[in-house]
Structure 1
Amino acid sequence: MIRVSIPSYQKVEGNGDSYTAYRVDVFQSGSYHTLHKRYSEFEELHKQLKKIIVTPEFPPKKVLKFNQKIVEQRRVALEAYLQGILEGETIPRSFLKFLDVHLPRSGSFDSLDVGLSEPTVTHQPMIGFTKDSFLQQNYRSVLPDIVSQGVQNGLYSFHQEDFLGLVR
């Protein structure tokens, strides 16, 4: 399971040059790391990806230097672009390399999809839970956990009238 967001950006200056660096947060199966990428790096990734998969819309380059409104719009569009790639049926290895994500080399991770020139990863969306609320009780609070009680009542209790109606 991979999740990506671009929560912020910053103006970077050095050696007489200035550019915008976007902070990319990558969550992968319980681990987390942050990258800083320039727009040109996103653009290069897009050029690679559009050769092998159908890509989401890529935000165009605008010439204005450091206009915060345009940079913010681009940040949102780049985040949508990355998330759109993750929603696809296959994730190209070049995309994983861009995100600095390392996967084990076994099974379906090494498969080649027909018509694609590079190995891809197939995945299915999944939901993960950190703990099972039905197995662990929270004894730290003196107040009842009404959310857990409501879910348990909704899932596991039945009224005798409903049961009798089913039997008849």
Structure 2
Amino acid sequence: MRRVSIPTFRKIKDENDDSYTVFCVEVCVSGRVHTVEKRYTEFEELHKQLKKIEKTPEFPPKKIMKWNHKVLEHRRVALQKYLQGVMESESIPKCYLKFLEISMPAFSASFDSLDDLNLSSTVVHQPVVSFVGEAFLQDNSRSSLPDIIVQGVNRGLYSYPDDV
């Protein structure tokens, strides 16, 4: 259902000719994919918020002497492991969803608790597909066409030696 990765990073120059690195976070939720760009400081802020509410995976250190491609690649991999580690927790905190810019529908079970949704703790199910009682045992003699689905189901359930 959910997948998060950091496939790339890139350098950005601002109007003052200062440059910084953004990590391109690819988020896949329910088949939809979107990308958000985050700086290391944004990851750091997320980590501070998460530490307050749950046990977090190891966060990559900030102290790096050289800013070369190899070092940034190492940081990219470490940040990806961190995000994936947070994703493995039982409940995904709202601050994590906000960081990834995921808007979850009101009926999603990804929130911290059902109390946030003003739902009771009982689960209510509604049928999506229903069949008439004993649908496969009904006599369909009114039709002139053979019912190949019923025949297939019957053969699958009640295979006879001469049906081979």
The gaps in structure 1 that reach 5 residues or longer are 120-155, 157-168
Q: 1:24 to 1:38 in 2, by over 3 A?
A: same
Deviation sequence 1:133-153 (CA, Å, 0-9, x none): xxxxxxxxxxxxxxxxxxxxx
Following superposition, the deviation at residue 16 of structure 1 comes to 2.6
Aligned residue number for residue 6 of structure 1: 6
The verdict on how the C-alpha distance between 1:65 and 1:47 changes in structure 2, with shifts beyond 3 A counting, is same
Deviation (angstroms), 1:67: 1.7
Structure 2 residues without counterparts, runs of 5 or longer? 118-155, 157-164
Q: Who is 2:84 aligned against?
A: 83
Larger Rg over CA atoms: 2
TM-score, normalization: structure 2? Answer: 0.65
**What is the Cα deviation at residue 90 of structure 1?**
1.1
Amino acid at match of 2:6: I
Percent identity (aligned): 54
User: Cα distance, 1:24 vs. partner?
Assistant: 0.5
Q: How do residues 59-74 of structure 1 correspond to structure 2 at under 5 angstroms?
A: 59-64=60-65, 66-74=67-75
Separation (CA, whole Å) in 2 of partners of 1:71 and 1:107: 35
**1:66 CA displacement:** 2.2
Corresponding residue of 1:29: 30
Rounded Cα–Cα distance in structure 2 between residues aligned with 1:27 and 1:107: 15
TM-score (normalised: structure 1): 0.63
Paired positions, count: 117
1:90 is paired with a residue whose SS is coil
For 1:103, the equivalent position in structure 2 comes to 104
The structural deviation recorded for 1:38 is: 0.3
Match runs of 1:49-60 below 5 Å: 49-60=50-61
Question: After alignment, is 57-66 or 41-50 more displaced?
Answer: 57-66
Deviation larger for 57-66 or 73-82:
57-66
